[in-house]
Structure 1
């Protein structure tokens, strides 16, 4: 009985940690947490974001890429615009034929695509 109680406590404790976002490493766990609306910055705040940038606007881009792709294309939401984010931005820009092409710069056209992507562009999970 004692072993079963300990096992149950371990399973429940892990579930609580995963729900709180304290267990990381698996994209599916992070993706589930990101399923809610990306509200890192106000939706109307859309500064130009470029490779090498850091901060909340980059986190918003990363979150929107994850939301947009339905988690088939997962990007770490870490606030650093590195190679993984660049690849995700290129994917969004190419699929939506944004103004300026796939230049990796998140300007007005790319922000619009992130907030209102073409249905055909969203990847299935």
Structure 2
């Protein structure tokens, strides 16, 4: 009799790490469903140094991305980690990697690509 083996989450993670950057980064969940710092209609232009609830919304929405990029603290402070993640998301969507969250970037935060093969900067 042959037994089927179930992979533990640690085994799956280990396999993903071993495969490296060939795996796409994927949006883990429907963005915005758990992000309620501001309404989806409030989309101010944000960049490095910005603070407030809209920055927390950006951080929360960017955390819907799975894969290697780190989860951002939703602290409402647009610092270096937030800027790097936004630049990466912009690159994944073919936008200029300015790090500035404006109309097109807000749109992709709420409607992310299904996957991204661009390596996250180390």
Q: Same fold (TM over 0.5)?
A: yes
1:71 deviates by: 6.5
Of residues 109, 112, 115 in structure 1, which corresponds to 2:110? 115
1:49 deviates by: 0.6
Q: Is the helix fraction higher in 1 or 2?
A: 1
Bigger-Rg structure (1/2): 1
Q: Does 1:79 align with 2:76?
A: yes
1:76 deviates by: 1.2
Provide the residue aligned with 1:54 in structure 2: 51
Give unmatched runs, 5+ long, in structure 2. 1-31, 118-122
> What RMSD, in angstroms, separates the aligned Cα atoms of the two structures?
2.1
Provide the residue aligned with 2:100 in structure 1: 105
Provide the residue aligned with 1:6 in structure 2: none
Q: How many residues align?
A: 86
Superposed structure 1 runs of 4+ greater than 2 Å apart:
70-73
Provide the residue aligned with 2:11 in structure 1: none
Provide the residue aligned with 2:35 in structure 1: 38
Hey, what's the Cα distance between the residues in 1 that align with 2:97 and 2:54?
A: 19
Hey, what's the Cα distance between the residues in 2 that align with 1:43 and 1:62?
A: 14
TM-score by length of 2: 0.65
Residue 89 of structure 1 aligns to a residue in which SS? helix
Provide the residue aligned with 2:90 in structure 1: 93
TM-score by length of 1: 0.63
Give unmatched runs, 5+ long, in structure 1. 1-34
Residue 81 of structure 1 aligns to a residue in which SS? coil
Hey, what's the Cα distance between the residues in 2 that align with 1:45 and 1:90?
A: 21
